[in-house]
Amino acid sequence: MYGGNSWRQQIYTSLRTRNKVECENIRDLISSYNRLFDYGESLRLETKQLNVQNEKLKEELILSHNNRSSPGVPSSSTLLNGSTCSVNIQHYEQKIYKLQEEVTELHRRRSENSQQLVELNQCLQERDRVLVSLRNKLAEKETELLLLKENVTALEAKIQETEEHNQLLRDEYQALNLTCNSYEEKNKKLIEENQELIQRWMVLKEKDAERMNEENEAAVKKRQEIVEKNLKEACLESKLVIEEDKFATLSPICFSSCLPSKPFLSFDAHEEEVNALVFSDQGRLLASGGSDRRIKLWDINHGTADQKAILSGSNLAVTAIDFDSDESIILGASNDFACRVWTLCDLRLRHTLTGHSGKVMACKFLAEPSRVVTGSHDRTLKIWDLRSRACMKTLFPGSSCNDIVVSDSQCSSVISGHFDKTVKFWDLRTEDKTYQLPLQGRVTSLSLSWNGCYLLCSVRDDSLRIIDLRQNKIIQTLTQEGFHIGSDQSRAVFSPDGAYAASGCGSGSLIIWNVDTGQVEKTLREHTTCVLAVAWHPKGKIITTCDRSKKIIVWGDF
């Protein structure tokens, strides 16, 4: 930049000149001076050292002279020399001695060293051995390590596999879950469908029931029409009879029973044995219950056995039947542990009284028609209320009950006959057994006289006993040659006027006793098998019996 300028050139030249004048001309001189100076310095130093050395040597020389001259004390220099010599010799000997000592010392040390060397060698060998063993161990460990690593890889692979498997299973599970859900949904739909169907079915059922009811009503109407027609016909016959009839419907009082002499009807009533046979209070209807689980209603007032109705609902044999005083309700005990209530107007099953744990052997209405007493094989009596359809009270007589009667109009007393050969008296107001009367055998049936003063018991010692309830005493025993009670359920009855007692015999004959005299009035033979029950028409003119071979026979003098 400034290179070409004259001032720069001038400066450069003057610098060159300056350096030449100040430096180059004299530099060599100064440097040679410096070299010489240094040289001189070093020489001086050397001289100094040499001087020092010289001095030392001189001193030594003098010392040696002195030593040599010392042995020869007298005068001559030789002596001096000799003495110095001997001193020297002594000196040297001392030196030699020292050196020898040194040599022995060194020898000793060498041996020590060699000893040490040997020890160290041993040590080294030991170390080597240890090292080798350690190496071996190391190798072992390495191989082990390798094995373990392999194991690890194998296990990892396994884990991988398991995980995959798991994944698969999870997927499958999910799929199944999905299908399950869909199935559940289907199921729900089906249930809904099912419910709908059930509803439809119910509706149809209801319709069906209504239709049946209608039919029933139609049948009832038809019957009423027939009855009306009959009544009209009867009206036309005679007025007196109508009055009599009316009276009869109000209170069936029989003034004198007459003993029939021949059967005028005999028919197969049930498909199996006939267990129970009862007239309604007015005598219009006869009810029979059989082992074929049915109760049948009959009208025999017109000389024929008109089957009025079949009441079904029991699951086992019907054992006892009772009408209420209005002839509107009928009660049926059954071996299926239950007692059922039907209404007679529409012949429908109204109630099922369940609660006994054994066969129900007897059932009776109490004075109020809404109350019922039942006796069972489970050794209990139960009082039921039909309005609440519940058991009101349970009595514990301690023995299987075969028959029950309700003693007086107040209905405070219930009398039951038992398997343990006793008749037990219950007062419902005190809720306690008031009295029990032992008999000679198992009591199979009870029957009250029309005035409620006498009780007829059929006893398994093949006799009938009459108990005066006012005295609680047996006042009459009715027996007969060949009379034999065929079953625990054999029923014997008073005649409506209380003058006679009738009972079936195991052999199939019907025997009628005069209560006052205790004599057999009549023996009627028609049945071929054991007669199970006897029913006397409330008007006193007709007796009906039933037996084990499905048969009902109506006895009368028409």
Partner 1 sequence: MGEDREILREIWDGRIPISFSLSSDDCCTLSPPDPHYLMVPRMSYFPIVLDKVKKYFTRSINSDLKIDEIWLDFEGIPLKWNYPIGVLFDLHTGGKTIPWPLTVHFSNFPEESIIRCRSRFIVLLSCHSIYREAIESHFLAAVKEADAFKHRGQVVKNMQMQDHKQLWTGLCNDKFDQFWTINRKLMDCNGEEGFKYIPFRLFLKDEVPIQRLQKPFGEDGSRLTLEDLLKNVLPRTLNENYRVTIQGIEPPWDTPLQWLSEHLSHPDNFLYLCVLQSEL
Query: Contact positions toward partner 1, by CB under 8 A?
Result: 1-3, 6-8, 10-12, 14-19, 21-23, 26-27, 29-31, 33-34, 37
- Tell me the closest approach of the beta carbon of residue 51 to partner 1, in angstroms: 16
**DSSP class per residue in 174-192:** HHHHHHHHHHHHHHHHHHH
Q: Find out whether 558 and 265 touch, Cβ atoms under 8 Å.
A: no
**DSSP class per residue in 111-138:** HHHHHHHHHHHHHHHHHHHHHHHHHHHH
Output the six-digit token pair for 45. 């130093």
Q: Would you tell me the crossing angle of helices 239-250 and 77-237 to the nearest 10 degrees?
A: 150
* 3-class SS string, 445-493: EEEECCCCCEEEEEECCCEEEEEECCCCEEEEEECCCCCCCCCCCCCEE
C-beta closer to partner 1: residue 19 or 90? 19
C-beta closer to partner 1: residue 7 or 255? 7
C-beta closer to partner 1: residue 21 or 118? 21
Between strands 338-343 and 329-334, the pairing is antiparallel
State the Cα–Cα distance between residues 22 and 501, nearest whole angstrom: 188
- Tell me the closest approach of the beta carbon of residue 40 to partner 1, in angstroms: 10
C-beta closer to partner 1: residue 1 or 236? 1
Furthest-apart CA pair in the chain: how many Å? Answer: 223
C-beta closer to partner 1: residue 22 or 126? 22
Where b means 16+ CB within 10 Å and e means fewer, 257-285 reads bebbeebebeeebbeebbbbbbbbbbbbb
State the Cα–Cα distance between residues 357 and 454, nearest whole angstrom: 32
- Tell me the closest approach of the beta carbon of residue 42 to partner 1, in angstroms: 14
C-beta closer to partner 1: residue 20 or 91? 20
**What are the phi and psi torsion angles at 316 (to 5°)?**
-135, -170
C-beta closer to partner 1: residue 14 or 519? 14
- Tell me the closest approach of the beta carbon of residue 118 to partner 1, in angstroms: 59
Give the DSSP H/E element, type plus range, for residue 384: strand 381-385
Give the DSSP H/E element, type plus range, for residue 12: helix 6-19
- Tell me the closest approach of the beta carbon of residue 50 to partner 1, in angstroms: 19
C-beta closer to partner 1: residue 2 or 255? 2
C-beta closer to partner 1: residue 23 or 234? 23
State the Cα–Cα distance between residues 312 and 295, nearest whole angstrom: 7
State the Cα–Cα distance between residues 61 and 44, nearest whole angstrom: 25
The residue assigned the tokens 């001096």 is 80
**DSSP class per residue in 26-85:** HHHHHHHHHHHHHHHHHHHHHHHHHHHHHHHHHHHHHHHHHHHHSS--SS-HHHHHHHHH
C-beta closer to partner 1: residue 49 or 153? 49
State the Cα–Cα distance between residues 224 and 345, nearest whole angstrom: 11
- Tell me the closest approach of the beta carbon of residue 54 to partner 1, in angstroms: 21
- Tell me the closest approach of the beta carbon of residue 38 to partner 1, in angstroms: 10
C-beta closer to partner 1: residue 26 or 89? 26
- Tell me the closest approach of the beta carbon of residue 49 to partner 1, in angstroms: 16
Q: What radius of gyration, in Å, describes the C-alpha atoms of the chain? A: 74
- Tell me the closest approach of the beta carbon of residue 13 to partner 1, in angstroms: 9
- Tell me the closest approach of the beta carbon of residue 20 to partner 1, in angstroms: 11
- Tell me the closest approach of the beta carbon of residue 39 to partner 1, in angstroms: 14
Q: Find out whether 391 and 381 touch, Cβ atoms under 8 Å.
A: no
C-beta closer to partner 1: residue 15 or 148? 15
- Tell me the closest approach of the beta carbon of residue 43 to partner 1, in angstroms: 15
CB count in 10 Å sphere of residue 378: 17
